[in-house]
Structure 1
Amino acid sequence: MLGGFITVFDLFVVNVAIPSLQADLGAGFAEIGLVIAGYELAFGVLLIAGGRLGDRYGRRRLFVLGMLGFAAASLLCGVAPDATSLIVARFLQGATGAILFPQVYALLRVLYDDAGRRRAFGLLGMTLGLAAIAGQVFGGLIVESDLFGLGWRVVFLINLPIGLAAACFSNAIPESRTPDADAVDWIGIGLATLGLTLMLVPLLEGPNTGWPLWTWGCFALSTLTLAIFLAWERSLVHRNGAPAIDLKLFANRRFALGMIVVLAIYSTATSLFLCFALLVQSGLGLTPFEAGSLFAPASIGFVAASLTAPRLVRRFGDHAIAGGALIYAAGILWLVVKVGGLAGPDDAWSLLPALVVFGFGQGLSMTPLLNLVIGFVEERHAGMAAGIVSTMQQVGGAFGVAVVGIFFVRLLAEHPAGGEPGVDRYAAAFSGAMLYNLSAVLIAAVLILWIAGARRA
C-alpha cells in the first residue's frame, strides 16, 4: 500500500507546489512542464521494464530497490538548486517509481487467493484515491506551513522516511519470481524514451523561444527515432525476441482505437491540474492549502464514480463509459464558463460544483476504460496489453502538459506591457488551454461509442 501511495502522492503533490517552486527557482512554464512531464514520461516508458525485472529477479527485491531509489531521487528533488537539477531529479524519480509500482500489483496478484485479491485490490484502489486527495490537501498544507523554512522542498523530502520505513519492513513480504520471464528490451525502451523526449522538449520550449530552428530539428529527430523504434520492435518479434511493445496487438482495430482513447483522455488530467494550480494560486492569490482544498472535492467525486462505475457498466454496457466522458466534458466546459467570471479569491469557491461534476465524470470514464481496452485482446496477451495501457496513460499525461502549454503560455503573455498578468489573464489562459482538453474528451467519447457499436456488431 505504501508503494502505491507514494508514487501517486508525488504525482499530485507537485501541482499545489508548482507556483511556490516556480517563484523560488525562477522557472518558466517550460521548466515546470518538464518537472511534471519528465516524471510521467520516465514512469510510463519504464513500467513494462520494471514489471519484467521483478518477474526475473524477485518482486520483493525490486520493491525494496524501487523504494530506496525513489527515496534517494526524492532527496535530490528536495535539495535541487535550480530548475534543471529538479527536472533531472524528477526524471530519476519517475524511473525509480516505474521499478517500484509494478511490484505492488504483481505481489498482490501472487500472494493471495481470489477472495484475498479482491480485498487487496479494493484496498489499493482506496489507497490510490486517498493518495490523490492527500497530495493536494496535505501537500498544500506542507507548502504553506513552510516547515524548517524549506517551503516546497518538504513535499519531496517527506518521501525519505516513508521510503526507508517501507524498505525496512519489506521482510514481511514473501519473495516471488518467474525465472523464465521475458528479458528487458533496453534498446527499444531507450529509443522510445529518446524519441518522446525529443518531441516533448520542443513542445514545451517552443512557445517561449519563438519556435527556433532547433525545435523543428528535434521534431525531425523524434520522428526518425520513433520510426527506428518501431522497426526494432518488429525485428525482435521476427527473431522470437521479447519486444517492449508487441506491435501485433495493434492489428486489433478496437485495441488500437482504445489506445487512442486512453492517450486522449489521459492527456487532459495532469494538464488541467497544472493550469488550475497556476490559475488559483498565481492568478487568484489562494494559498497552497486553499488551492488543494478547493480541488479535493474533484478527487472525492472521482473516487465515488470509480466505486459506482462497475455497476453502471454492467447495467448500461460500454455506453456508460461514453456517458462518463460526456459528463467529464460537461465539467470542463462548466469550469471554463465559471472561470470567465472570476474577479478575486472569494469567487474561487463558486467553482466547487463544476469541480465535483468534472471529477465524477473523470472517474466514470477513466476507471472502467482500462478494463474495456484490455478486454479487446486474448487473455494470454493481457499482461502485455495492461503494460501498454499503463504506459499510454503516463505518456498521455506528459503529452497533454506539452500541448496545453502552447496555448497557456501564449495567452498568458498577452497582458499590458510592463504589467504582471492578473486574474483576467490567468482566466483567459486557463479557458483557452482547456479547449484542447474539451476537444480531446469529446473525441474520446465519440470513439468509445464507435467501439461499443463495433463490439455489438
Structure 2
Amino acid sequence: MSALSIPQAEPHRWAMFVILLVGAFLPPLDFFIVNVALPAIQQDLSTSSSAEQLVISSYAAVYAVTLITGGRLGDIYGRGKMFFLGLMGFAAASLLCGFAWSPWALIAGRILQGATAAIMAPQALASVQAIFPEAERPLALSIYGAVFGLASVIGQVLGGILISADLFHLGWRAIFLVNLPVALLVILFGLPLLKETRARAAQRLDPVGTLLATLTLSTLIVPLIEGREAGWPWWTWMWFLIFPLLATLLWRYEQRLSHKGGSPLLNPDVLRAPGLGQGLVIVLLFYSIGAFFMLFSVYLQGALHLNALSAGTVFLPFGVGFLIGPLLTPWLRRFTGNYLSAIGMGCETAGLAGLGWLIATTLTGSQPAMLPLAPLLFVTGLGQGLAMPTLVRMVTGQVAPQFSGMIAGVTSAALQISTALSVALIGGIFYSMLDNGHSSEAITHAFIIALLTMAACLAIGAALSIRLIRRASVRSANPARFSHR
C-alpha cells in the first residue's frame, strides 16, 4: 500500500470499498450472532448469568468507547493500514473466543474483539469521503447502510445455522471461528488492491485526549449496559455523575491543544460545524429503536410462547425492509433530498405505532395476524433503511474530508450510545411494568408502551431533521448572515 492522499476519484474505489465493507459487516454480525449461542455456551463452559451478560456487554462497551479513537487512527496513520491491523486483531480475538477454555477466557476474547472491531469499522465510513466524488457518495452510503442492516438481520439466523450444523463438532465455537477464513480471504485479496488514504493535516495521536475520551464514554456506556441487569447499584449512579465532569475536562483539554497548534482527537473547531450538534442529537433519537429487537423477542417468546426459530422468522419482513431501504435511497433522494431522513423516521414512527395498535387489538396470548403484522414490520425496517444513509451523510458531510475518520468514529459512537440508551431507558420502562410472574398480559402491555415510546422518539427525530434541513437551506441562501457564527 502506498501512502498518499487521493485528490481525485480513485479508479478502483468500488473494489476498495467492497474490501472495507467487511469492517462494517463483521462487528454488528458478531454482536447479534452470539445471542443464539448463549444456551450452548452456558452448557459447555458452565457460565453464570452474570458471565453470560458480560459475553455480550463487554464487546458492546469496549466497541462503543474506542470507536472515536479507531476513526482518528485511520486519519493519522492511514485508513487501509488501520483496517488491516484491526482485521488481523479481530481474527486473533475470534480465535481466542473459538478456543476459549473458560468463561473468562471467552470474555477476554470478546473485549479484544470489541477493541479491534472499533479500529476496523470506522475506516469504511471514513473512506466514503476520501475516495468517492460527491455524486457517488449517496450510493456508497446506501450500500454501507444495506450491509450494516444485513449484518444485523442475518446474525441470529447464521448463528442458529452454524450451531445446528455442528461443523467439525465445534458447536457454538463455529460462530467465532468462521471469521478466520473471511479475514484470510480479505487480507489476500485486499492487500494488493487497497490504496492508502489519510488526513493531510493530522500530525500525531493525542494520547491524553484518547484516554480522556475513553474514560468519558466509559462512564456513560458501561453503567447503561450493565446497570439494569445489576439492579442499578450505587456505582452506576456515581459513574453517571462523573460523566459530565470528564466530558467538560475533555472538551477544555482539546480546546487548549487546538489553540497550541496540536492535533486533538476531537477537534473543537470541527465539532462546532453548523448543524453538526443537532445532527448528532437526531442520530441519538434515530437509534431509539435499538431496544426493539430485544423487546420484540421477549414478546414473541414470553407472551406468545414461540420458539427461537419461529420468533426469528417473524423478524424477516423487518429485515427485508431494512435491506431494500438503503438500496432505494439514491433514487428517492433525487425527489426528496435530505428530507428522506425525516420520511424514513416517519415510516418507522407509523410502523411502530401501528404495531402497538395491532397488538393492543389482538387477543392477549394470540399471535397478531401476519397480513397486517408483516407489512407493519416491513414499513418499520424500510424506514430505518431509508433514514440511515441520508442521516449519516447529513452528519459526516458537515466536515472536511481530512476529518472523516474522526467524524465517522463520532457518528458510529453516537449510534452505539443511542442503542445503549434505548436498551437502558426504554428497556427499563418495559421491565419495570412487568409483574413478578412475567405474565402474557404484563409483557404485552409493557411492549405496547415501549413501542409508543420509541415511536415518539423517532417522531421528534423526524421533526428535528426537517428543522435542520430548513436551517441549512437558509444558511446556504444567506452565507454572509451566518459567517460570524
Conserved in 1, the CA contact under 8 Å of 2:94 and 2:177?
yes
Q: Which runs of 5+ in 1 are unaligned?
A: none
CA distance in 1, matches of 2:113, 2:304: 31
Name the counterpart of 2:276. Answer: 255
Quote the Cα distance in structure 1 between the aligned partners of 2:388 and 2:425: 20
Alignment partner of 1:240: what SS?
Answer: coil
Which is further off, 96-105 or 108-117?
Answer: 108-117
Contact 2:162 2:172 in 1 (8 A): yes
Q: Distance in 1 between matches of 2:470 and 2:39?
A: 45
2:466 alignment partner, one of 441, 444, 449: 449
Partner of 2:49: 27
CA distance in 2, matches of 1:442, 1:244: 33
Q: Would you say the 8 A contact 2:75–2:402 is kept in 1?
A: no
Q: Which moved more, 1:342-351 or 1:205-214?
A: 342-351
Q: Where does residue 406 of structure 1 map in the other structure?
A: 428
Partner SS, residue 242 of structure 1: coil
TM-score normalised to the size of structure 2? Answer: 0.78
**How do 1:54-453 and structure 2 match up within 5 A?**
54=74, 56-57=76-77, 59-78=79-98, 87-104=107-124, 127-145=147-165, 152-174=172-194, 176=196, 178=198, 181-208=202-229, 210-269=231-290, 271-340=291-360, 341=362, 347=368, 349=370, 351-377=373-399, 384-412=406-434, 414-416=435-437, 421-453=438-470
State the 1:237 CA deviation: 1.1
Unaligned runs of 5+ in 2: 1-18, 475-485
C-alpha spacing 1:106/1:455, structure 2 compared with 1 (3 Å)? closer
- 163-172 or 120-129, which moves further after superposition? 120-129
* More divergent stretch after superposition (442-451 vs 399-408): 399-408
Contact conserved, 2:142 with 2:327, CA < 8 A, in 1?
no
Distance in structure 2 (CA, Å) of the matches to 1:342 and 1:39: 39
Whole-angstrom CA distance in 2 between matches of 1:170 and 1:111: 16
Q: Is the 8 A contact 1:200 1:402 kept in 2?
A: no
- 8 Å contact kept, 2:122–2:405: no
Q: Distance in 2 between matches of 1:345 and 1:273?
A: 20
**What is the match of residue 482 of structure 2?**
none
Tell me which moved more, 163-172 or 80-89. 80-89
How many residues in Structure 1 have an aligned counterpart in Structure 2?
449
Supply the distance in 2 between the matched residues of 1:342 and 1:184 (Cα, whole angstroms). 59
Asked if the contact 2:282–2:464 (Cα under 8 Å) also holds between the matched residues in 1, the reply is yes
Aligned AA (2:242)? L
1:286 alignment partner, SS class: coil
Structure 2 distance, partners of 1:90, 1:342, is: 42
Deviation of 1:301 after TM superposition, in Å, equals 0.7
Q: What CA deviation, in whole Å up to 9, does each residue of 1:396-441 have, x standing for no partner?
A: 22332222332233234x134xxxx344343334333334422321
Higher mean C-alpha deviation, range 433-442 or range 113-122: 113-122
Give the deviation of 1:54 after TM superposition: 4.0
User: Percent identity over the alignment?
Assistant: 38
2:223 counterpart letter in structure 1? P
Measure, in 2, the Cα distance between the counterparts of 1:432 and 1:21: 33
Residues 84 and 137 (structure 1 numbering): CA distance in 2 closer, same or farther, change over 3 Å? same
1:46 counterpart = 2:63: no
